[in-house]
Structure 1
């Protein structure tokens, strides 16, 4: 391959590094493809390859300088790769990869799209809200489940892969008579305040402070990325218990705030994580209530 191909990847990585997550990927792909054609026309496949190499260089730099870790980068990869390929196509058109009219359309499109998907690097991302609800049918009456809804002294080691890689998960919880509640996560305590307590039926609470969302893995050093504490924020949670035959219909509901766009993509991760948190907590509630039954 000619030097222009490699220079396209390197310059794309450098330019993208100054823009922001979404805009970075799009600019990275566009610049890499444009520079790769400076010595002559290239196929879009070749320009796309230059863009992907640029993405790889950026990812390696983020790891080496401990700016990101081995959890966040794979989370972002599908979005970044897709935007970089779109940018490379626009950069290919802008560099005359097809027609002059295509170049005239591509140049303004690169700027508009990069601002649309990467504006969060210039303006604060809106605090979008999400909610996760899970429903469980448990073979124990509400009266036997309730004490464990109020407090779980400990939970077993997690087996879900994201928890094992460092994403925050609950270790224990306690609800005090004065309405104070604490849920200790693997990354720190999460103080809460009870907003509604109906014995054997409902426990609702509001999150006061959210600890870091994960402990990043990085072989080159400790990661202090701001998004570990500023992007995800727990808002409210509740447990609803309804008698159902000889058992209980238990509904767990959690709401959160997320300051990262595009929300439609990034919400996929907290939705899945919160759902697994619910599963972890409810399974422990069920396990402890079954021991209560045996004890009787």
Structure 2
């Protein structure tokens, strides 16, 4: 690693920023390649990349000098912050997606800094090879993930309405303009429903659920009045509008969250009330699913609750 001796300054301030810059030069092109070239948002991006950021920045900053765990952590987090700002400045990602990925990114960056500290403390001669191994694993994992088929998930939300199924049905099929949302999540750019219109009736009718970013086009597949309305989703708008310095059109806004089907199920209750259940079947091409599915489920629940509450209010009006 003689080349590191030549380029790494002995001045701590200079070395700190040089370590940050060199790490970003390693991670940046791999990130752009993964997103725009391979077209994969997954373990390569959300786990291996922050691991590389923590590992490489720590090794570069601590090469041929004594470094504490605190210094390792600090240089790693500094690099992650600069890297994230770079994603926004160069219109690669927006604030909301970066904020959603932050918990896992912070954890893996810290873990990378820990491994980096252990390497330069115990086996410094293997430092360069470890950086290269992690770098090589990023596109390799992206290519592997790209071949995996997405898993279909469902989200069910229910509400009890003080009205008969016949009354509720009319407000399920189509409903008027919703009031402006008060929930914080919908003020961040996440798309939310505005109203619903339908063309025709019965199986084959086309329902349009209009969101702030466009319309879900939903041909009806089951029309069992007043018990079950089920539909496919053949077109859908972008799931969100990113908060950014620029007008971002990131790949993950297209075909990475896909709604496939939906339904409203109405169940008559003994006291004259109706239990209304809304279900969405979806998949997303963003991994790891264990981390991202709870985010998706939460957002869908919020959308469901907004719609079901609106239907409840309209159905209970005297």
Give the equivalent residue in structure 1 for 2:81.
56
Separation in structure 2 between the aligned mates of residue 163 and residue 206 of structure 1, nearest angstrom: 25
Give the equivalent residue in structure 1 for 2:298.
272
- Mapped pair 1:148 → 2:171: yes
Structure 1: any 5+ residue segments left out of the alignment? none
Separation in structure 1 between the aligned mates of residue 72 and residue 288 of structure 2, nearest angstrom: 25
Give the equivalent residue in structure 2 for 1:89.
114
Give the equivalent residue in structure 1 for 2:24.
13
Counterpart contact for 2:222–2:231, Cα < 8 Å:
yes
Give the equivalent residue in structure 1 for 2:141.
119
Equivalent residue of 1:237, what SS?
A: strand
Equivalent residue of 1:94, what SS?
A: helix
With normalisation by structure 2, the TM-score equals 0.83
With normalisation by structure 1, the TM-score equals 0.89
Please list every run of at least 4 consecutive aligned residues from structure 1 whose deviation after the TM superposition is greater than 6 angstroms: 102-107
How far residue 123 of structure 1 moved from its aligned partner, in angstroms, is 4.7
How far residue 283 of structure 1 moved from its aligned partner, in angstroms, is 0.6
- Mapped pair 1:32 → 2:57: yes
How far residue 154 of structure 1 moved from its aligned partner, in angstroms, is 1.4
- Mapped pair 1:128 → 2:154: no
Q: How does 1:91-110 map to 2 (within 5 A)?
A: 91-95=116-120, 97=121, 99-100=122-123
Residues 47-80 of structure 1: CA deviation (Å, up to 9, x unaligned)? 1111100111011111222222221111111111
How far residue 231 of structure 1 moved from its aligned partner, in angstroms, is 1.2
Give the equivalent residue in structure 1 for 2:235.
209
Tell me the number of residue pairs that the alignment of Structure 1 and Structure 2 aligns. 288
Residues 245-266 of structure 1: CA deviation (Å, up to 9, x unaligned)? 2201111111111001111111
How far residue 91 of structure 1 moved from its aligned partner, in angstroms, is 1.6
Residues 189-242 of structure 1: CA deviation (Å, up to 9, x unaligned)? 111111111101001111102211111111x21111111113111111111111
Separation in structure 2 between the aligned mates of residue 48 and residue 164 of structure 1, nearest angstrom: 33
Counterpart contact for 1:167–1:214, Cα < 8 Å:
yes
Change (3 A) 1:285 1:272: same
- Mapped pair 1:282 → 2:308: yes
How far residue 110 of structure 1 moved from its aligned partner, in angstroms, is 8.5
Give the equivalent residue in structure 1 for 2:35.
none
Give the equivalent residue in structure 2 for 1:77.
102
Counterpart contact for 1:94–1:106, Cα < 8 Å:
no
Indicate the larger mover: 267-276 or 126-135. 126-135
Counterpart contact for 1:90–1:110, Cα < 8 Å:
no
Q: How does 1:167-186 map to 2 (within 5 A)?
A: 167-175=190-198, 176-177=200-201, 178-186=204-212
Separation in structure 2 between the aligned mates of residue 146 and residue 84 of structure 1, nearest angstrom: 51
- Mapped pair 1:164 → 2:175: no
- Mapped pair 1:42 → 2:67: yes
Counterpart contact for 2:20–2:78, Cα < 8 Å:
yes
Change (3 A) 1:136 1:107: farther
Equivalent residue of 1:223, what SS?
A: coil
How far residue 109 of structure 1 moved from its aligned partner, in angstroms, is 9.9
Structure 2: any 5+ residue segments left out of the alignment? 1-11, 32-44
Residues 163-194 of structure 1: CA deviation (Å, up to 9, x unaligned)? 11211111111233242111111111111111
Separation in structure 2 between the aligned mates of residue 211 and residue 52 of structure 1, nearest angstrom: 35
Equivalent residue of 1:134, what SS?
A: strand
Separation in structure 1 between the aligned mates of residue 138 and residue 93 of structure 2, nearest angstrom: 23
Counterpart contact for 1:19–1:118, Cα < 8 Å:
no
